[in-house]
């Protein structure tokens, strides 16, 4: 698994069949593929920076300034996750219809506005309402993953997605360093009162978000072939003599169009039939030419199409989609809840820590995403290359989820009062939890590749649903943080095992 550093800086080898890169030029932001990778993780990073900019200062400063109770603080954390849940579910189909880049830019700009308005908040309910709208930024995870999937080949897509997601997620940890540092500087250097300083501090993430969004809009492409409307041109070039790849047939009128102006759906693109089993409509891949089964069928399924409502529901509620959504709800949901409460948990168990020190230790949990989430993607891709079997990827996801649950049980039941024990257990839990998140999105592109936006949006949304459920667990257990954590660990164990038997992808789907 040695790294060829030349691949990190040089333009990647391109798969001629689908125009996707076979390596990730991480250190080459001037290459088309390197540029998309850079803005994918950076866009999610700055979104996370603002989305989780409140918990580091809520522990003490904002809570006192607004006279908030612990219940109101918990409610604000839940509301921030609720908005993201709604946006992620909607963002998936929007990515399939309009392209992930434009959806990404739109979400960043929409979320930047309430970030800049933090200074106007004067009441606890005002902060809760503001955090709901700031939660829009959490939806950027979906276009981040869909954009990467569109530019990187399946042999490395798990690595690309986990790197982008992991480096972006680290914003949730780094904000624990950045926001207190900005606040402290405004108080000690600029001489502002705490009342004014925390409000002014939120101008910084606003400026950063707008800058990154404009860079993404002006410097990047929608797809390897250019505009989103031209995304299926490679399919025409793949089989110029096959009219089924070059033409789009409207199933309602029977007319044929050769231009790219009409977005294909799952059915009029000739990719799937609907088969009714037990009253449930499920998509089945159509093999028009039995002799062409193999690579051609695989590449055709890579063509992302604009879904109808019925198509979207068929994909969203299929068992393979649920089998990646539920584990992600457990692992990423736990991460979101812990990002909000970990600093307060440390402060409760170690009273000598203040807001800044407990926040710095809590930050380590999020920052470990830089290494641990990509590790899950690396492992998923490596196992897949070694075995050629999606069940191997699936087994990795289940294993990581089960061990995560075990660590959470250990933390919650022992409720450590020794710093070494606490931080050691949290670091161990972080590895398996964050690696599980990366492994899940190493599997997602295989599930329904022609509807990747729908699957990514639903799985991302389930991650936030898990976060909401676990934040509610924290809310109703109030200061009994240990009990909250072992309850979450039990749910993680059960969720991972409950879907372990489900096929990782439909039988007819190409791997």
Domains along the sequence of the chain with CATH: 20-226+316-498 (1.20.1250.20), 232-303 (no CATH)
pLDDT band at 439 (very low <50, low <70, confident <90, very high): very high
pLDDT of residue 294: 41
pLDDT of residue 499: 92
pLDDT band at 261 (very low <50, low <70, confident <90, very high): very low
Gap between the Cα atoms of 263 and 448, Å rounded: 18
Answer yes or no: is pLDDT of 286 > 80: no
Answer yes or no: is pLDDT of 299 > 80: no
277 sits in which H/E element? strand 272-277
Answer yes or no: is pLDDT of 77 > 90: no
- What are φ and ψ of residue 29, in 5° steps? -75, 0
pLDDT of residue 15: 86
Gap between the Cα atoms of 325 and 454, Å rounded: 12
Gap between the Cα atoms of 224 and 213, Å rounded: 20
* Residues contacting 78, CB < 8 A, separation 6+: 468, 471, 472, 475
pLDDT of residue 308: 67
Q: Which of 498, 493, 492, 401 is nearest to 443 (CA)?
A: 401
Answer yes or no: is pLDDT of 260 > 90: no
Which tokens hold the place of 494? 């059960």
Residue whose structure tokens are 């890579």:
302
The Cβ-side half-sphere exposure at 441, using a 13 Å CA radius, reads 37
Residue-wise DSSP of 51-71 = HTSSHHHHTTHHHHHHT--HH
Select the more confidently predicted residue: 241 or 195. Answer: 195
**Inter-residue contact 231 to 306 (CB < 8 Å):** no
Answer yes or no: is pLDDT of 211 > 50: yes
Pick the most confident of 246-250, 338-342, 349-353, 408-412: 408-412
Gap between the Cα atoms of 2 and 155, Å rounded: 16
Gap between the Cα atoms of 388 and 268, Å rounded: 31
pLDDT digits (tens, 9 = 90+) for 143-189: 999 999 899 988 888 889 889 988 998 888 888 888 988 999 999 98
- What b/e sequence results for 8-44 when a residue is b if at least 16 CB atoms lie within 10 Å of its CB, and e otherwise? eeeebebbebbbbbebbbbebeebbbbbbbbbbbbbb
Answer yes or no: is pLDDT of 106 > 90: yes
pLDDT of residue 304: 55
The Cβ-side half-sphere exposure at 294, using a 13 Å CA radius, reads 3
DSSP 265: -
Dihedral sign for Cα 279, 282, 286, 291, please: negative
pLDDT of residue 282: 43
Measured CA to CA in angstroms, residue 170 lies from 262, 370, 371 at distances of 39, 6, 9
- What are φ and ψ of residue 273, in 5° steps? -110, 160
Mean pLDDT over each residue of the chain, to the nearest integer = 83
Answer yes or no: is pLDDT of 334 > 90: yes
Select the more confidently predicted residue: 382 or 18. Answer: 382
pLDDT of residue 249: 34
Report helix, strand and coil shares of the chain as percent, to nearest 5.
Answer: 70, 5, 25
């Amino acid at each position: 698994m040695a790294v060829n550093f030349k691949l990190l800086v040089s333009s990647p080898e391109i798969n001629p069949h689908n125009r996707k890169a076979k390596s990730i030029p991480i250190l080459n932001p001037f290459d088309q593929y390197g540029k998309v990778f850079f803005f994918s993780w950076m866009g999610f990073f700055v979104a996370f920076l603002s989305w989780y900019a409140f918990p580091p200062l809520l522990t003490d400063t904002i809570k006192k300034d607004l006279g908030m109770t612990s219940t109101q603080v918990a409610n604000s954390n839940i509301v921030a996750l609720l908005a993201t849940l709604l946006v992620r579910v909607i963002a998936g189909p929007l990515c399939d219809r309009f392209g992930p880049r434009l959806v990404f830019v739109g979400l960043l700009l929409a979320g930047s506005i309430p970030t800049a308005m933090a200074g106007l908040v004067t009441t606890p309910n005002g902060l809760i309402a503001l955090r709901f709208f700031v939660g829009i930024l959490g939806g950027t995870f979906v276009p981040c993953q869909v954009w990467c999937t569109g530019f990187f080949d399946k042999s490395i897509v798990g690595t690309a997605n986990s790197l982008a997601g992991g480096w972006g997620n680290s914003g949730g940890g780094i904000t624990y360093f950045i926001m207190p540092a900005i606040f402290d500087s405004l108080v000690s250097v600029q001489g502002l009162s705490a009342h004014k300083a925390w409000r002014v501090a939120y101008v910084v993430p606003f400026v950063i978000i707008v800058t990154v969004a404009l860079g993404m809009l002006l410097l990047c492409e929608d797809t390897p072939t250019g505009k989103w409307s031209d995304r299926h041109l490679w399919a025409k070039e793949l089989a110029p003599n096959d009219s089924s790849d070059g033409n789009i047939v409207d199933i309602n009128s029977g007319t044929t169009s050769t231009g790219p102006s009409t977005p294909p759906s799952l059915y009029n693109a000739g990719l799937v039939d609907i088969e009714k089993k037990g009253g449930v409509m499920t998509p089945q891949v159509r093999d028009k030419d039995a002799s062409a089964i193999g690579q051609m069928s695989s590449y055709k399924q890579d063509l992302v199409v604009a879904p109808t409502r019925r198509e979207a529901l068929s994909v969203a509620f299929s068992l393979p989609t649920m089998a990646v959504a539920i584990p992600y709800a457990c692992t990423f949901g736990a991460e979101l809840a812990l990002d909000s409460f970990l600093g307060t948990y440390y402060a409760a168990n170690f009273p000598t820590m203040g807001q800044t020190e407990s926040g710095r230790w809590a930050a380590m949990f999020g920052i470990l995403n830089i290494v641990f989430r990509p590790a899950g993607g690396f492992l998923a891709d490596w196992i897949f290359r070694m075995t050629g079997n999606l069940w191997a990827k699936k087994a990795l996801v289940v294993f990581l989820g089960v061990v995560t649950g075990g660590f959470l049980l250990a933390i919650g039941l022992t409720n450590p009062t020794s710093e070494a024990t606490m931080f050691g257990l949290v670091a161990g839990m972080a590895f398996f939890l964050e690696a599980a998140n990366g492994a899940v999105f190493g599997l997602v592109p295989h599930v329904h590749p022609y509807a990747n936006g729908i699957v990514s949006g639903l799985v991302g949304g389930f991650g936030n649903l898990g976060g909401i459920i676990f934040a509610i667990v924290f809310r109703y257990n109030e200061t009994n943080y240990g009990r909250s954590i072992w309850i979450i660990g039990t749910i993680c164990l059960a969720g991972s095992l409950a879907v372990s038997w489900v096929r990782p992808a439909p039988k007819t789907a190409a791997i």
